[in-house]
Structure 1
């Protein structure tokens, strides 16, 4: 499949970073189009999360550029990227365990709210309207991820898979153009992984671009429209799942073999 760079929502151009002279990521380029699911895969230590951290503004790249909808957003702080349409989840859950599921979902709206602080302090009508809108929006998001019945439960009492879906719901509160998911199925059982599969596919079908880092290769091969493969910080392959799974460099990187079979695990 030929990549149409003119349609790219996200463009990663020659991105690189070094730590103490060690090249953690070197000269990585790819694009993500609206409604597309692009997965970044690779063995442990390949540089996947470091790449995500550069794209999402946590790390300042040493080389290259990140463009969002054509705008150079390289190194822009995460909250400013969120305002431009980029939202992200993390490997480790960022959930407030002692708050309710609904309260956690509502927190996703706070960044988007731009009402005056004084109005909030005084409890003015404008502040109450925003609070009602956030509550209504959060409930709709919980229904979207299948957690509407758990809205009043304490988040810490949810299953791990439900917490993963809650984190995705909170990220969606910003109404993103692109959603970066860092190992959304990590620690989940087969049923929970399937639920997350379906949710990611539904979000992409709504037009939101998905950039995904995931170790579950069955999940990656099942839902991805395009795959980027890293090894030792460099891109070694890119393409559709069927093509990538047969690539000798990818197979060798995962299995350390000269003539291995296709990557299907």
Structure 2
């Protein structure tokens, strides 16, 4: 059963149609990738799904509930979290403190208790730090916990942002170009991390330009061009689709093995 269902989603800016009639589904443990040339509408689609933009048409359903246009913090409490194309890191804070900030959406303490540092607030803070340490170990950054985030490599910062998103305990995680700017070694680390999250049952919706990564880990691929879906299917099918080749790939892309997650 699908966790995320997107139906006929569309939006226009100043009369210019950015996304039109796009639909897709993502099930638990599935990795669905959205690809397409620059300006195809990929991040705009992400922004509608994650509540940043209010769609002009269509519906977004999370586990059957209509969440179209719901605020991002409310979606996070329902299990939808995301990363952004541009890093949202606090460089002067420690790596551990950055990871811990993701736990605030799971806290239910009173504001006054937090301001006065009452025992309940202190317990929540300690719990967030313990949880952050576990997440840093999961993304391979436990040894960097006490360093300032601004000292990390770009690839490590990408993994830190994923750790912070995982702090919200997502059932669905939207990853916007997690391997952008990463070298080959860092991309392999991102690859393993995404595969591991899917294997743990998290549904993954991915926007990424690294076609080798996309073809290697995706269960299903959706291709956009000029805001419209022009193809979808498994990696092998999409890599041979003539419209995809003409619009984006330029040539068939080799598919390296099966996807990491079951559909």
TM category (shorter chain) comes to over 0.9
Structure-2 residue corresponding to 1:71:
65
TM-fit CA distance, 1:263:
3.4
Query: In the alignment, what sits opposite 2:185?
Result: 191
Is residue 2:139 matched to residue 1:145? yes
Question: 2:10 is matched with which residue?
Answer: 16
TM-score calculated relative to the size of structure 1: 0.95
Deviation at 1:19, TM superposition (A): 0.7
**Residue aligning to 2:218:** 224
Distance 1:100 1:127 in 2: 20
TM-score by length of 2: 0.95
The list of structure 1 runs, each at least 4 consecutive aligned residues, that deviate by more than 4 angstroms after superposition, is: none
* Correspondence 1:263 to 2:257: no
Comparing 179-188 and 119-128, the one that deviates more: 119-128
Q: Are the counterparts in 2 of residues 229 and 235 from structure 1 also a CA contact under 8 Å?
A: yes
Which of residues 170, 176, 179 in structure 2 aligns to 1:182? 176
Which residues of structure 1 form unaligned runs of 5+? 1-6
Q: How far off its partner does 1:264 sit?
A: 4.3
Paired residue secondary structure (1:210): strand
Matches within 5 A, 1:108-119: 108-119=102-113
Q: Is the 8 A contact 2:48 2:69 kept in 1?
A: yes
SS at match of 1:98: coil
Give secondary structure in 2 for the equivalent of 1:23. strand
Rounded Cα–Cα distance in structure 2 between residues aligned with 1:88 and 1:236: 25
* Residue of structure 2 aligned with 1:80, choices 65, 74, 79: 74
Aligned residues between the structures:
255
Which residue in 2 is equivalent to 1:27? 21
Matches within 5 A, 1:152-171: 152-171=146-165
Instruction: Report the aligned-residue RMSD.
Output: 1.0
The offset of 1:171, in angstroms, is 0.1
Q: What CA deviation, in whole Å up to 9, does each residue of 1:106-157 have, x standing for no partner?
A: 1001122110011112222111111111010000000000000000000000
For 1:230 and 1:88, the matched residues in 2 are separated by: 20
The 5 Å alignment of 1:208-247 reads 208-247=202-241
Instruction: Answer yes or no: is 1:128 the counterpart of 2:122.
Output: yes
